[in-house]
Amino acid sequence: MSPERLLCYRYSREILKVYSKSFYLSTMLLPREKRDAVYALYGFCRFADNLVDTPRDRSPDELRNEIDALETELKIGYRTGESEQPALCAFLHAALEHGIPIGHPVELLEGVKMDIEHHHYQSFDELHLFCHRVAGVVGLMMTRVLGYLSEEAFIYAARLGIAMQLTNILRDIQEDRWNGRIYLPLDEMTAYGVDPKDLEAERCTPALRNLVRFSAERAHRYYNEAAPGIHLLTPRTRFAIQSASDIYRNILFKIEKNDFNPFLGRVYVPHNAKIRIILLNYLRGLSGKFKKDPALHTIHTGDQEIPS
């Protein structure tokens, strides 16, 4: 690898280290070639996402122009294999090496654009499309990087990405409100009797608790549906995705522990609990004890431990 490209990979690694400490920890025990490719994939996805999520003095049209310019550079890079943009440089190398179709990152950018155009979603169908584009597609690309034993793995990977994005939405209800965004589907808010003014005033009404509970149960269903796909990844990489799934799912458990009140501050999984989850899953992988249904050994770091 050239010194220039090596710097791009290091840049992507730092992006992952800063923005997703959980996933960074999950990747540390991966084989080197897989780990570097994961850094490159995450670095590009986060760079694209930050174009919209990072507060800057830009109009919606200017943000769209930035994303369109990135898409143009992406398409040129798929043809030429190079780019001077560090996050894109590393991603292109990993994507071409692992056979990631160009349609996946292009669809991701379409999802990023949705965050410019939509500050709320009318229905879960609309929200599902957003979740698929910004997270399900990431699961598809990650599967290419980590390696898989069956094409079925892609179905489960997309579901896990959606599960994790739904978890993000529930964790960030308060922060998203501060930024003028509501990701809870409006028709479901109406059905449960949730007044948007209660969100604005940060009032956790019984109706809102019920809606958050319902949304958490739906996210759990996506985790359960995704679980069999872990077994379809290559043996030396399964632990990383199982660990990421466990860590994110524990956010749901903590939301439940807060009685589904989204206004008690951002919930998180402590560092020591993350390390425990990763090490237990890594040891399972080494011993060949991964079961075909990983949901049977999801690690719960709440008050009641699930046997591992």
Q: What type of residue is 94?
A: A
pLDDT digit string, tens, across residues 214-227: 999 999 999 999 99
Q: Assess whether 212 and 289 both reside in one domain.
A: yes
Beta bridge partners, 277, equal: none
User: CA-CA distance, 261 to 263, in Å (whole number)?
Assistant: 6
Query: Do residue 156 and residue 258 come from a single domain?
Result: yes
Q: How confident is the model at residue 286 (pLDDT cuts 50, 70, 90)?
A: confident
User: Is the domain of 166 the same as that of 93?
Assistant: no
- H-run or E-run covering 134: none
Do 234 and 293 lie in one domain? The reply is yes
Domain boundary among 99, 117, 135: 117
Together in a domain, 88 and 166? no
Residue 23's pLDDT is 82
Rounded (10°) CA dihedral 248, 254, 256, 260: -100
Would you say 227 and 281 are in contact if contact means Cβ atoms under 8 Å apart? no
pLDDT score for 65: 96
The pLDDT-based confidence of 285 (bands split at 50, 70, 90) is confident
- Cα angle 90, 95, 96 (rounded to 5 degrees) comes to 105
The pLDDT of residue 107 is: 98
For residues 3 and 177, which has the higher predicted lDDT (pLDDT)?
A: 177
Single residue among 117, 140, 170 that ends a domain in this structure: 117
Shared domain check, 88 and 202? no
Nearest to 240 by CA among 270, 288, 272, 284: 284
Residue 142 maps to a domain: no
Mean confidence (pLDDT) of the chain: 91
Smallest CA-to-CA distance from 170 within 139, 131, 138 is with 131
The verdict on residue 134 lying in a domain is no
Note whether residue 183 is domain-resident.
yes
- What was the pLDDT predicted at 95? 97
Q: Are residues 106 and 154 in the same domain?
A: no
Determine the average pLDDT of the residues in 234-247: 94
Domain identity same for 162 and 287: yes
Per-residue pLDDT band at 302 (split at 50, 70, 90): low
Quick check: 291 pLDDT over 90?
Answer: no
**Which tens digit of pLDDT belongs to each residue from 13-67?**
999 989 888 788 888 889 988 999 999 999 999 999 999 988 788 999 999 999 9
Confidence bin at 306 (pLDDT 50/70/90): very low
Q: Which residue has the tokens 């349609």?
A: 103
Terminal-residue alpha carbon distance, the chain: 40
Q: Judge whether residue 305 has pLDDT over 50.
A: no
What residue has token string 């090490």?
279
The two three-digit tokens of residue 150, written as one number: 């069956």
249 domain-assigned = yes
* CATH number, domain containing residue 207: 1.10.600.10
Three-state DSSP state, 82 = coil
Backbone angles phi, psi at 240, to 5 degrees: -65, -45
**Taking 60 as the threshold, does the pLDDT of residue 308 lie above it?**
no
pLDDT at 295: 52
- Is 182 part of any domain? yes
Report the share of the chain in percent with pLDDT over 90: 81
Select from 64, 95, 117 the last residue of a domain.
117
131 inside domain: no
Burial of 238 (0-12, 13-18, 19+ CB in 10 A): buried
Count of the separate structural domains present in the chain: 2
Shared domain check, 168 and 104:
no
C-alpha–C-alpha distance, residues 71 and 63, integer Å:
12
User: What is the model's pLDDT at position 307?
Assistant: 29
pLDDT on residue 297: 54
| Any domain includes 76 | yes
* pLDDT over 60 (residue 303): no
Residue located via tokens 């003095």: 57
Same domain, 172 and 292: yes
Check whether residue 89 and residue 215 sit in a common domain: no
Residue 136 domain flag: no
Tens digit of each residue's pLDDT (9 = 90 or more) over 94-124: 999 999 999 999 999 999 999 998 889 999 9
Strands (E), the chain: none
Q: What is the mean pLDDT of residues 73-86?
A: 95
Residue-level pLDDT at 7? 92
Q: Which residue has the higher pLDDT, 308 or 303?
A: 303
Q: Residue 53: give the domain boundaries.
A: 1-117
Asked whether residue 23 falls in the same domain as residue 155, the answer is no
User: Residue 266: what residue type?
Assistant: R
Spatial CA neighbour of 274 closest among 244, 306, 235 = 244
